[in-house]
Amino acid sequence: MSGPPPDVIDWTEAMQQTGDDEEFLRELLADLRQETDTQVSNIEQIIQNPTDAPFQRIQRAAHVIKGASANLMCAQLRYASMALEQTAQAAHNENNGSPSAETTQKVQQCYLDLKRAQENYHGFLNGLGV
């Protein structure tokens, strides 16, 4: 990703999405944390034990995070999950699901970028007391 990293969340836009209901937004952000944690854990397990179309499964998990984070204006999570989704899709499509070591390395790097975005998101929520 070039340029400065995106904000963890665009609070103004997220508030507009929830009709300026901060309590509801906090609930949704907590739900997103739980969903993101579940999907990142799933991705980690797939990476550690890559059986049964692993890149397609990684792509699907990243897609879940991308959609949920986009709805709540959480740009870091959205961009990191989108990059992982696209890279995993390319890996799945490469050589009948047997990608090169370079492509596999790219998937792993995108996963680490997603983990960093997840940590930033957790830090943001902790700062809010959520």
Q: Which residue has the tokens 């980690």?
A: 44
For each of the chain's 130 residues, which pLDDT tens digit applies? 445 567 999 999 999 999 999 999 999 999 999 999 999 999 999 999 988 899 999 999 999 999 999 999 999 999 999 999 999 999 999 887 788 899 999 999 999 999 999 999 999 999 999 9
pLDDT at 1: 43
The CATH code for residues 11-128 is 1.20.120.160
Cβ atoms of 42 and 127 closer than 8 Å? no
Does the pTM exceed 0.85?
Answer: yes
pLDDT at 77: 98
Burial of 99: CB neighbours in 10 Å, binned 0-12, 13-18, 19+: buried
Q: Is 95 left (phi over 0), alpha (psi -120 to 50) or beta?
A: left
